[in-house]
A and B are shown apart, each in its own frame.
Chain A
């Protein structure tokens, strides 16, 4: 590769990193059409190079497919390559109870073919969590994009769940855990 090409590539990779790391809108990540505008038609190649570059820092560029499945509607994000440990998650200020509510909700929704009525989810969660926490957590996760609530109050996994959570691993881990005595 010639030095001018290399310099151009490096500049584009740097630009891609800046575009992905800085939150622009309400939600993190950059849509495919925006990436094309910032980096040009061959933005996917740039993204691949960037993903390799940031892997040393424990990060990766992840693509979440949009509703219509087109390149333009895909959302690109920088995310942790490996999951954090429980203690790391705790130090980020997230409560264990809140994460447990989210895990149970995603598992429940997935077990219902990807959609469940909110009242059913609440009823299910109330067996384990207090009512106020269930309602508060569900509202919070809808707002943060982990869950989606449609006009018929049906809950689905949100774009953030598809971006951050390896749902298959989550379901497998839940199923593979043996019965343990619940801590009070």
Chain B
């Protein structure tokens, strides 16, 4: 019941917004009726959220009143012409006629956009003293670093993250584990790589990516559920490959 009452206010807000964002007639909104609705509901609101929705509805109604004011002023002005007539005219007239109508009612602004000798001198001094781009932000941000990129296996070995032996043993162990756990079936990728600490999880994902790239494991995704499945292959897979990006998040 409470939801229904709140729904009424939300409907008022939605109606007002739809009028504000289109050229619909603002008088289509019955302000009096909506205000009475807000007033009748007001004593029922107990929570801050409800009162905020109520004030938002009132604010939207004031916007509609403002639009009604503008609408009336425009309609009363000499610029008011039946919209359909003017739209039809614009559609029928060639571009040249529209341009001519515009030019005949156009009074361009006359102005001089120029720099004074003093300004020119200031600009010259600024340019002369301006240090090159490479130097300018060095003090503030330091020198430019290397752009983010991919770290390949050779780089990891050179960084000491892996040794050749460790890496190959790790791959073999992981393949055996996957073979054992999947047993010819598809198993959940996230469950497989899961570990108590984040580093190990990333390491397992990295090694598994290698196995998949080498065709010793296969991966499939379900677009609707977002689930990722993985299985071990006893023989190297052949055929077309597809690249898949998987995010591994920190925390549990």
- Contact assessment for A21 and B85 in the assembled complex, using a CB-CB cutoff below 8 Å: no
Contact pick for B103, options A23, A84, A160, CB 8 Å: A84
A113-B71, A171-B81, A175-B81 as given contacts; A100 in contact with B98, CB under 8 Å: yes
In the bound complex, what is the Cα–Cα distance between A43 and B101 (angstroms)? 35
- Contact assessment for B86 and A107 in the assembled complex, using a CB-CB cutoff below 8 Å: yes
Residues on B with beta carbons closer than 8 Å to the beta carbon of A183? 94-96
Additional pairs, 8, CB under 8 Å, beyond known A96-B99, A127-B91, A180-B92: A23-B111, A23-B112, A79-B108, A85-B103, A100-B102, A106-B102, A110-B86, A164-B108
Residues on A with beta carbons closer than 8 Å to the beta carbon of B95? 96-97, 100, 128-129, 182-183
A contact set with B: CB distance below 8 Å: 20-23, 28-29, 59-60, 62, 77-86, 89, 92, 96-97, 99-100, 102-104, 106-108, 110-117, 120, 124, 127-129, 152-154, 160, 163-171, 173-175, 177, 179-183
- Contact assessment for B87 and A111 in the assembled complex, using a CB-CB cutoff below 8 Å: yes
Chain A's closest residue to B116 (CB) is A22
CB of B243 within 8 Å of the partner chain: no
CB of B110 within 8 Å of the partner chain: yes
In the bound complex, what is the Cα–Cα distance between A81 and B67 (angstroms)? 34
The smallest beta-carbon distance between A96 and chain B, in angstroms, is 5
Contact pick for A120, options B23, B71, B99, CB 8 Å: B23
B65-105 CB mask vs A (1 if < 8 Å, else 0) is: 00100110011001111110111011111111111111111
Residues on A with beta carbons closer than 8 Å to the beta carbon of B110? 21, 59, 78-80
The smallest beta-carbon distance between A4 and chain B, in angstroms, is 30
The smallest beta-carbon distance between B46 and chain A, in angstroms, is 32
In the bound complex, what is the Cα–Cα distance between A18 and B140 (angstroms)? 42
Residues on A with beta carbons closer than 8 Å to the beta carbon of B79? 110, 114, 167-168, 171
Residues on B with beta carbons closer than 8 Å to the beta carbon of A170? 101-102, 104-105
Residues on A with beta carbons closer than 8 Å to the beta carbon of B104? 83, 169-170, 173
A21-B110, A96-B96 as given contacts; A152 in contact with B20, CB under 8 Å: yes
The smallest beta-carbon distance between A14 and chain B, in angstroms, is 15
The smallest beta-carbon distance between B28 and chain A, in angstroms, is 13
In the bound complex, what is the Cα–Cα distance between A180 and B91 (angstroms)? 11
Contact pick for B86, options A83, A85, A174, CB 8 Å: A174
14 residue pairs bridging A and B, Cβ less than 8 Å apart: A22-B114, A28-B111, A59-B110, A78-B110, A79-B108, A82-B107, A99-B98, A100-B96, A108-B87, A113-B23, A113-B71, A128-B91, A165-B107, A168-B79
Residues on A with beta carbons closer than 8 Å to the beta carbon of B97? 177, 180
Residues on A with beta carbons closer than 8 Å to the beta carbon of B94? 180-183
Q: Which of A100, A116, A160 has the most CB of B within 10 A?
A: A100
The smallest beta-carbon distance between B54 and chain A, in angstroms, is 22
In the bound complex, what is the Cα–Cα distance between A41 and B22 (angstroms)? 43
In the bound complex, what is the Cα–Cα distance between A143 and B25 (angstroms)? 28
CB of B109 within 8 Å of the partner chain: yes
Residues on A with beta carbons closer than 8 Å to the beta carbon of B22? 117, 120
A103-B99, A183-B94, A183-B95 as given contacts; A164 in contact with B70, CB under 8 Å: no
Residues on B with beta carbons closer than 8 Å to the beta carbon of A160? 109
- Contact assessment for B112 and A21 in the assembled complex, using a CB-CB cutoff below 8 Å: yes
B170-202 CB mask vs A (1 if < 8 Å, else 0) is: 000000000000000000000000000000000
In the bound complex, what is the Cα–Cα distance between A114 and B86 (angstroms)? 13
The smallest beta-carbon distance between A162 and chain B, in angstroms, is 11
The smallest beta-carbon distance between A166 and chain B, in angstroms, is 4
In the bound complex, what is the Cα–Cα distance between A44 and B74 (angstroms)? 28
The smallest beta-carbon distance between A135 and chain B, in angstroms, is 17
- Contact assessment for B85 and A89 in the assembled complex, using a CB-CB cutoff below 8 Å: no
- Contact assessment for B106 and A89 in the assembled complex, using a CB-CB cutoff below 8 Å: yes
Residues on A with beta carbons closer than 8 Å to the beta carbon of B83? 111-112
Contact pick for A177, options B70, B81, B89, B114, CB 8 Å: B89
